[in-house]
Amino acid sequence: MKATIYDVAREAGVSIAAVSQVMNGKGKISEERRGEIIKIMERLNYQPSVIASALTGKKTYTLGLLVPDISNPFFAEIARAVEDQGHHMGYSLVICSSDNKDERVERYLNLLQQKSVDAMIIGTGMDNKDMLTPLMERAIPIAMIAREMPDIDVHTVVVDDFVGGALSATHLLDLGHRRMAILAEHSKVSSSRERVRGFKSKLEEAGAQLPENSVRNCHYVVADGKREALELLDQSNPDRPTALFCCNDLLAIGALQAAKQLGLRVPEDLSVIGFDNTILASVTDPPLTTVAQPIEPMGKMVVDLLIQELKKESKAKQRVVMRPELIVRQSTAAPTECD
Amino acid sequence: MKATIYDVAREAGVSIAAVSQVMNGKGKISEERRGEIIKIMERLNYQPSVIASALTGKKTYTLGLLVPDISNPFFAEIARAVEDQGHHMGYSLVICSSDNKDERVERYLNLLQQKSVDAMIIGTGMDNKDMLTPLMERAIPIAMIAREMPDIDVHTVVVDDFVGGALSATHLLDLGHRRMAILAEHSKVSSSRERVRGFKSKLEEAGAQLPENSVRNCHYVVADGKREALELLDQSNPDRPTALFCCNDLLAIGALQAAKQLGLRVPEDLSVIGFDNTILASVTDPPLTTVAQPIEPMGKMVVDLLIQELKKESKAKQRVVMRPELIVRQSTAAPTECD
C-alpha cells in the first residue's frame, strides 16, 4: 500500500491540513516541526497525489475534451492531436461524446467539473451557451476546437470554414457544374453553417443558384448522408444536381453509396466533395476530393492556448483561424451533359 | 466560488478531517456537533467533489483506457463503446495512446495511477508484464480488451482471434487459393499472433503451406502495410501470392494501395482480407472482405466486469471470448491462374 496523507498525519500526530500546509509551505508550523513532518514523509515514501493537489486547489493536470463522437475519424484524429500535445505538456485527457445533444453536453460538462479538469476543450455544437456559464464562473479555461460560439469569451481554434466552402464551390464551378446541392450537418453546428455560407457566396458571385430544398441537414453519419443523397439524386427531380458538396467526409461517403445504388458513376455522372480529409477520404471508391483541416496543428494550438492561460502567461482570449486546403482526388470531374 | 471542504471546516471551527468524518459517518464526533456541521454544509451549498472522495480513499468514477492509437478507427470504436457503457454506469474515461511502445505504456500507467483511476482497461501490446505489478499491488482492477496477457491474473475480453484467422484461411482455400501471405502486426501483439496461428493451422490441415518470409510484421499503419505488400507482390517473387490475409483493416488498405500501384486488380489478380470490420472496410475500393469483431458488446462487457469487481460482486477473473464473423465483400474471389 502506498502511503497516504493520512498515514503521514497519523505518524506525525497532526491533522492532514497541517501536512498539506507543510507541502505547500504555508501555515503557522514551526520550522522544527516542519522538518520532522518532512522526514516522516520521506521515511514513508509519501508521494503527494494529483488528487491531493486538486483538493488543496491545485491543478489536476487533466483536460476535458467534448466531441460529438469519438468514433468519427475526424474527432478521433483531433483527440489524438490533443492527447499528444497534452501529454507532451504533462496533461492527460478525459474524452466525452455528446452526439451533439444538449442534454448529453450538459451532463458531461457537470461530470468534467466534478472531476476538476483544469481546462475544457469543446468540439461539439450546442444550442444553449448558458451551459458554459458554471465553468466560466469558476474560471475554468475553455477553448473551442473546430466549432465556434462567437457570443462567449473563450479561445477558439478553427479552420476557415467559409473559405473551405468557397474553395469547394470554385472547384466545381471551374469544372463546369451549375446544378449543385449540399449535404450539411445540423444547423446548430457552426462549422457546417459557415461551409454552406462560403459555398453559396461563390455560387452567387458566379450567378449560379441552389434550387429550393437543395441544402439538406443531416445527422453526421453515413446512413443519413445516403438517405438525403438518394432523395436529391432521384431521377424524377428536375433539378437533379451534377455535384454534391458534403460538409464532412462521412456524408460524402453516404453520397458515394447513394450514387452506387442509383447506378450513377462518380465522377462521370456525379461529382462529390467531402470535408475534413480524414483517413476515410483516401480509401473510398473513388478517393474523395475533400477540404483538408490541419488537424495536428489545431490540436497543438488549442492545448497551448489553454496552458498559457493556466500559467497566467496570457489572459487575452484568442481566435486562431487556420487555412484549409482543397485536396483534389478522383471524385470530381466536369459534368457530362445528357439531358 | 463553490464552497470547499476548507470553507466548511473554517466555518465550523473543526479540521477538514472532522468534516470528512461527518461525510463518511465515521469518527468520534457527537451527534449534536455532527448536526451542526451538516447544517453548515447545507448553508454553504457544499457538494463533496469526486476529488475529495478520492482523497478519502473512495472512488473517482474514472476508468483509464490505454490503446495503441485513438486515431486508429478500431480503437476509436472500442473507446466509444467503453465510453458509452462507462457513462451509463456513471464512470468517465481517460484515454491514452501508447503507440505499442513500452516506455509510453509505462509512463501512462504511472500517470493513470496518479489520477487515481478506479480501474484500468488495456488494449495495447506490451513486452514487459511487470509494468502492471504496481497496479495489481494496489488492487486496481485491470481488464484487457482485444489483447491477452495469459500470464497475469486479469479480466480479458477478446474476440476469438484464432477462429478469425481460421475463417479467413478457409474462405481463401475454398476460393481455390494456394499461394498466400500474411501482413501481421508486431509479434508482441497477442491478437495478431493468434490470427496468424489460426490462419496457418487451417492451411496445414489443407496441406497448403506459406512460403518462407511470407509473414510480414508491420507497424499498424497503412504505409507499412503498403511497403510490405509491395515487396510480397513483386513480379520477380516466384512465390508471389494470389491472396493476402491482413491482421487489421489498415494493413489491408495498404495492400489495396500496393496492388493499385502495381497494376494488379482486386479481386481478379489479388484477394485481400482485412480484420476488425471498422468503418474503413465498407468504404474501400473494392469494399473489404474482413473479420468482424463485436466491438460494442466487447466494450460493454469489459466495463461490466470491472464494475462488478469494484462493487465486490465478483472476485473471479473472467476471460470472455466472443465469436468473430467473416464479412464477405468484394475484395476476395477465385484466383486467376496466369502463370
Residue of A nearest to B56 (CA): A6
Are B99 and B217 contained in the same domain?
A: no
Chosen from A5, A21, A95, A106 to mutate, greatest number of chain B CBs within 10 A: A95
Instruction: Return the number of other C-beta atoms located less than 10 Å from residue B311's C-beta.
Output: 9
Question: Does B21 reach chain A within 8 Å, measured CB to CB?
Answer: no
Q: Which A residues in the span 122-151 are in contact with B, Cβ-Cβ below 8 Å? A: 138
- Is A234 domain-assigned? yes
Contacts of B17 in chain A (CB under 8 A): 9, 15-17
Please indicate whether, in this complex, the C-beta atoms of B283 and A286 are within 8 angstroms of each other: no
- CB-based contact, B16 to chain A, within 8 Å: yes
**pLDDT tier for residue B112 given thresholds of 50, 70 and 90:** confident
> Do both A170 and A288 map to the same domain?
yes
User: Looking at the structure, do residues A178 and A214 belong to the same domain, yes or no?
Assistant: yes
Q: Is the pLDDT of residue A182 over 60?
A: yes
Predicted pLDDT at A339 = 46
- What pLDDT score was predicted for residue A16? 77
Any B CB within 8 A of A1 CB: yes
Global pTM exceeds 0.90: no
**Partner A, chain B 269-308, Cβ-Cβ below 8 Å:** 279-280, 283-287
pLDDT, mean of residues B259-263: 93
Is residue B109 assigned to a domain? yes
User: Cell triple for residue A118?
Assistant: 483544469
CA of B27, closest CA in chain A: separation in Å? 14
Q: Is residue B337 part of a domain?
A: no
pLDDT score recorded for residue B339: 46
- Of the candidate ranges A236-250, B3-17, B116-130, B157-171, the one whose mean pLDDT is the lowest: B3-17
Residues A175 and A289 occupy one common structural domain: yes
Cα–chain center distance at B167: 22
Residue A58 has pLDDT above 70, yes or no: no
A156 lies within 8 A of chain B by CB: no
- For residue B28, the Cα-to-chain-centroid distance in whole angstroms is 47
Average pLDDT, chain B: 88
DSSP classification of residue B36: H
From B286's Cα to the closest Cα of chain A, the distance in A is 7
Backbone angles phi, psi at B10, to 5 degrees: -65, -50
Q: What is the span of the domain harbouring residue A127?
A: 60-159+294-322
In 3D space, the residue among A253, A209, A258 whose CA is nearest the CA of residue A231 turns out to be: A258
Query: pLDDT class for B30, splitting at 50, 70, 90?
Result: confident
Are B214 and B286 contained in the same domain?
Answer: yes
User: SS3 for B169?
Assistant: helix
Q: Which three cell numbers stand for residue A215?
A: 441544402
Distance between CA atoms of residues B21 and A172, nearest Å: 69
- Regarding predicted confidence, which is higher, B315 or A227? A227
What pLDDT, on the 0 to 100 scale, is given for residue B48?
60
Per-window interface: B 176-195 vs A, CB < 8 A: none
Same domain, B249 and B285: yes
A78 and A132 both lie in a single domain: yes
Cβ distance A92 to B96 less than 8 Å, yes or no, reads yes
CB contact under 8 Å between A93 and B95, yes or no, is yes
- Domain-embedded: residue A116: yes
Distance CA B249, CA B291 (A): 9
Query: How far does B76 lie from chain A, in Å, by closest CA?
Result: 5
Contact, B313 vs B305, CB < 8 A? no
How far is B284 from chain A, CA to nearest CA, in Å? 5
pLDDT of amino acid B57 = 56
Nearest to B96, CA basis, from B71, B119, B67, B123: B67
C-alpha cell at B116: 487515481
B2 has pLDDT over 70: no
Residue A338: is its pLDDT beyond 80?
Answer: no
Q: Does the structure show a pLDDT above 70 at B231?
A: yes
Which chain B residues are closer than 8 Å to A26 by Cβ?
none
Residue A202 to chain B, least CA–CA distance (Å): 30
- β-partners of residue B215 are B182
Which residues on chain B are in Cβ contact (under 8 Å) with A94? 62, 92-95
Residues B80 and B42 in one domain: no
pLDDT number for residue A57: 55
Beta carbons of A97 and B116 less than 8 Å apart:
no
Mean pLDDT within A73-87: 94
Instruction: Name every chain B residue with its beta carbon within 8 A of the beta carbon of A15.
Output: 15-17
Output A60 or A164, whichever has higher pLDDT. A164
Chain B residue with CA closest to A255: the answer is B283
Give yes or no for residue B338 having a pLDDT over 70: no
Domain presence at residue A246 = yes
pLDDT at A52 over 80: no
Q: Which three-class secondary structure state does DSSP give residue A122?
A: strand
Q: 3-class SS at A267?
A: coil
Q: According to the model, what pLDDT value does residue B195 have?
A: 96
Contact check, Cβ <8 Å, A49/B114: yes
Nearest to B306 by CA among B294, B318, B296: B318
> Residues B170-195: what's their mean pLDDT?
93
Give mean pLDDT, residues A313-327. 91
How far off is chain B from A205, nearest CA to CA, in Å? Answer: 35
Tell whether A80 is within 8 A of chain B (Cβ): yes
A310 inside domain = yes
Residue B317 and residue B277 share a domain = no
Pick A44 or B12 by higher pLDDT: B12
For chain B, what is the domain count?
A: 3
Whether B71 sits inside 8 A of A80 (CB atoms) is yes
pLDDT of residue B43: 78
Rounded-to-integer distance, Cα A88 and Cα B239, Å: 46
The answer to whether position B329 is within a domain reads no
Question: Is B242 within 8 Å of B179 (Cβ atoms)?
Answer: yes
Residue B70 to residue A76, Cβ atoms within 8 A: yes
CB atoms near residue B95 (< 10 Å): 27
Answer whether B111 sits within 8 Å of A92, measured CB to CB: yes
Question: Who wins on pLDDT, B174 or A125?
Answer: B174
Cell of A290: 475533400
Confidence of residue B25 (pLDDT cuts 50, 70, 90): low
Give whole-number Cα distances, B306 to A3, A93, B2, B318, in Å: 25, 21, 32, 10
Q: Does A43 touch chain B (CB under 8 A)?
A: no
Q: Which of A168-172, B115-119, B245-249 has the lowest mean pLDDT?
A: B115-119
**Three-class DSSP category at A66:** strand
Measured in angstroms, the CA of B309 and the nearest CA of chain A are apart by 19
Task: For chain A, give the mean pLDDT.
Answer: 88
Q: Which among B57, B80, B253 is the nearest to A70, CB-wise?
A: B80
Assigned domain for B334 exists: no
Q: What CATH number is given to the structural domain containing A24?
A: 1.10.260.40
Mean pLDDT of A92-108: 87
Are A107 and A126 part of one and the same domain? Answer: yes
**B201 to chain A, closest Cα gap in Å:** 31
pLDDT at B49: 55
B128-170: pLDDT as tens digits: 778 888 888 888 999 999 988 888 889 999 999 999 999 999 9
Are B80 and A97 within 8 A, CB to CB?
Answer: yes
Record: contact A284-B279, CB cut-off 8 A: no
For A200, the grid coordinates are 453559396
Report the range of poorest mean pLDDT among A40-54, A85-99, A303-317, B164-178. Answer: A40-54
Q: Are residues A89 and A102 in the same domain?
A: yes
ipTM for the complex shown: 0.74
Q: Which of A12-21, A137-146, B23-32, B122-131 has the highest mean pLDDT?
A: A137-146
- Residue A87 sits in a domain of what CATH number? 3.40.50.2300
User: What is the biggest distance separating any 2 CA atoms in chain A, rounded to whole angstroms?
Assistant: 94
| Claim to verify: residue A104 and residue A13 sit in the same structural domain | no
